[in-house]
Amino acid sequence: MEMYRLFLIILMSAFFSCAVQSPPSGGPTNTNPLKILNINPSSGATKINSKEAINFSFNQMVSPQTAKISFNIYPETEINVSVIGNKIKITPINKWPQSFFKIVSSRNIYDYYGNKLEKAISASYSTDDFIHDSKI
Burial class (CB in 10 A: 0-12, 13-18, 19+), 109: buried
pLDDT in tens, 22-33: 555 677 888 889
pLDDT in tens, 2-11: 888 888 888 7
What mean pLDDT do residues 42-66 have? 93
CATH architecture of 36-126: Sandwich (2.60)
- The residues, ordered by sequence, that sit 6+ positions from 100 with a Cβ below 8 Å of its Cβ are 124, 125, 126, 128, 131, 132, 135
Would you state the pLDDT for residue 86? Answer: 93
Domain boundaries, the chain: 36-126
| Residue 42: pLDDT over 70 | yes
State what percent of residues in the chain have pLDDT above 70.
Answer: 87
What's the predicted TM-score (pTM) here?
0.76
Q: Within its chain, how far is the Cα of 126 from the centroid?
A: 25
Of the given ranges (4-8, 65-69, 95-99, 122-126), which has the lowest mean pLDDT?
4-8
**Average per-residue pLDDT in the chain?**
87
| Residue 59: pLDDT over 80 | yes
